[in-house]
Amino acid sequence: MKQTDSHIEVDFINEGSTVGELHPEKSWPREDSSRVPLWVYTDHENYRRELERVFYGPHWHMVGLESEIPNPGDFVRAVIGERSVIVTKTENEEISVLLNSCAHRGVEISQAAHGTQKEIMCPYHQWTYDLKGNLIGVPFKRGVKGKGGFPEDFDTKNHGLRRLKVENVNGCIFATFDHDAPNMREYLGKGNYEYFTRIFNGRKTKVLGHQRQRIKGNWKLYMENIKDPYHASLLHVFLISFGLYRIDQQGVTVTDERTLAHNVFASIRNPAGDTSGTEDMKSYRKDLKLNDMSLVTAAKEFEDEVSIQIQTVFPDLVLQQQGNSLQLRYVIPLGPDEFELQWTYFGYEDDSEEMTLRRLRQANLTGPSGYVSVDDTEVLEYSGAGIRPNPSKVAILELGGRGGEAPDDGNMVTEGPIRGFYEYYRRVMYGDS
């Protein structure tokens, strides 16, 4: 980066880059990340670079729960960036994550979202792989009746499916294209690893359901939304109307010190129905009350008193505990202007039926049409609509300072974690690599 009189210019020239050069006019207004130029949400070259450096670079992506593939041959399909992968359990109970693109002609092999198979066969020319991705069968390898076939030195060992590096964190399957990526404990940092394994604590999980939605806006806006807890006290009328959220409720924010890119908010909700402290908020309605409090009344199930945990794992995962509702959200970019959000609701294998019902009932607050999350969908579409035609504008992120560190006083009225995200993002995107 080099300083000019009025702003900082980022040096985008990166010879040997596979994604081309970014236009030099595309600069960041300040050295700190208290300003975000809106072209980072709209620019196609920048988006191609994100795919290479963020999604296919040294970062981990959750691709499923082990409980989704309990038996050898079971598989689920997942998406990292724009690349489809097959997540499968092998005969010897290992997990392999394979690029869903045939080594022959690049064909996407599997279209099913999940299933069971003994081997992986491309539908086009039937190149066939074992569950570890080794090529085990090629039609007409020796030709027909002694004619044709592959050259003598064609070795199937050299033509398997691309394998990703895999780590299993207490039943959560993570994968990365970069085999030099640090292990998950180092990747997440101590505090974020501890909170992640607070929910994934070794108990076997049970998937309760999936939801999907598409949102017309840039994928980063979703991660920002999760890193900004104070919007809940302004935007989410369901929470405010019924006195279910207070910005001053006891909480903690933990940002990974190595990257500033992952962070977690954990807080203890005021008892359902206790509206003290909410009365002066604009959307609070004294005349409204929930008839069925079971929608929001959580049963204690963890050792601590935390009733809301919401965690972002860079670049594309959200883990949330909302009372007894447990959810994963996978963020899948579809170009700079749209993303898919995949929700997986889960509980534990040994849950009582009553607890499963409680989890399902409380899941009504989230998802594409959730009483709370529907507001985020709506406002992120407004963000997309306002940003797309105005890429030369700049966003302001000064609440709580200009640095990317998490406040250590539990204050949730801050944009610090969003600045932290961009501090790391800029290093990854425009640093030497």
149 with 141: CB under 8 angstroms? yes
Segment 278 to 307, residues that bind Fe ion, using CB under 5 A: none
State in angstroms the smallest separation of the CB of 408 from Fe ion.
Answer: 24
Q: CA-CA distance, 80 to 63, in Å (whole number)?
A: 8
Which residue lies nearer to Fe ion by CB, 171 or 243?
243
Which residue lies nearer to Fe ion by CB, 138 or 328?
328
228 with 220: CB under 8 angstroms? no
75 with 114: CB under 8 angstroms? yes
Segment 370 to 399, residues that bind Fe ion, using CB under 5 A: 376
State in angstroms the smallest separation of the CB of 236 from Fe ion.
Answer: 6
Taken as a whole, the chain contains a residue count of: 433
Which residue lies nearer to Fe ion by CB, 316 or 376?
376
State in angstroms the smallest separation of the CB of 204 from Fe ion.
Answer: 30
Which residue lies nearer to Fe ion by CB, 100 or 253?
253
State in angstroms the smallest separation of the CB of 231 from Fe ion.
Answer: 6
The residue number with the shortest CB distance to Fe ion is: 376
**What b/e readout covers 238-252, taking b as 16+ CB neighbours within 10 angstroms?**
bbbbbbbbbbebebb
Grouping H, G, I as helix, E, B as strand and the rest as coil, residue 339 is strand
State in angstroms the smallest separation of the CB of 211 from Fe ion.
Answer: 16
Q: Is 50 in the site for Fe ion (CB under 5 A)?
A: no
Which residue lies nearer to Fe ion by CB, 177 or 222?
222
Which residue lies nearer to Fe ion by CB, 68 or 376?
376
Which residue lies nearer to Fe ion by CB, 224 or 376?
376
404 with 227: CB under 8 angstroms? no
State in angstroms the smallest separation of the CB of 311 from Fe ion.
Answer: 14
Dihedral angle sign, alpha carbons of residues 129, 101, 433, 264: negative
Beta bridge partners of 428: none
Which residue lies nearer to Fe ion by CB, 50 or 228?
228
Number of residues lying near Fe ion (CB under 5 A): 1
Which residue lies nearer to Fe ion by CB, 43 or 376?
376
State in angstroms the smallest separation of the CB of 225 from Fe ion.
Answer: 6
Q: CA-CA distance, 210 to 223, in Å (whole number)?
A: 20
**Site pattern 195..234 for Fe ion (x: CB under 5 A):** ----------------------------------------
Q: CA-CA distance, 180 to 258, in Å (whole number)?
A: 17
173 with 67: CB under 8 angstroms? no
332 with 314: CB under 8 angstroms? no
State in angstroms the smallest separation of the CB of 229 from Fe ion.
Answer: 8
State in angstroms the smallest separation of the CB of 373 from Fe ion.
Answer: 7
16: number of Cβ within 10 Å: 5
80: number of Cβ within 10 Å: 25
Tell me which long-range contacts 384-391 makes (C-beta under 8 A, separation of at least 24): 384/41, 384/215, 384/216, 384/217, 384/218, 384/221, 384/337, 384/338, 385/216, 387/38, 387/41, 387/42, 387/217, 387/218, 388/41, 388/42, 388/337, 390/38, 391/37, 391/38, 391/39, 391/41, 391/42, 391/43
Q: CA-CA distance, 44 to 40, in Å (whole number)?
A: 9
State in angstroms the smallest separation of the CB of 305 from Fe ion.
Answer: 22
Q: CA-CA distance, 45 to 9, in Å (whole number)?
A: 17
Angle between helix axes 373-387 and 219-226 (nearest 10 degrees) is: 130
State in angstroms the smallest separation of the CB of 297 from Fe ion.
Answer: 21
Q: CA-CA distance, 148 to 106, in Å (whole number)?
A: 22
Q: CA-CA distance, 122 to 103, in Å (whole number)?
A: 9
Which residue lies nearer to Fe ion by CB, 66 or 376?
376
State in angstroms the smallest separation of the CB of 190 from Fe ion.
Answer: 27
Residue numbers at the binding site for Fe ion (CB under 5 A):
376
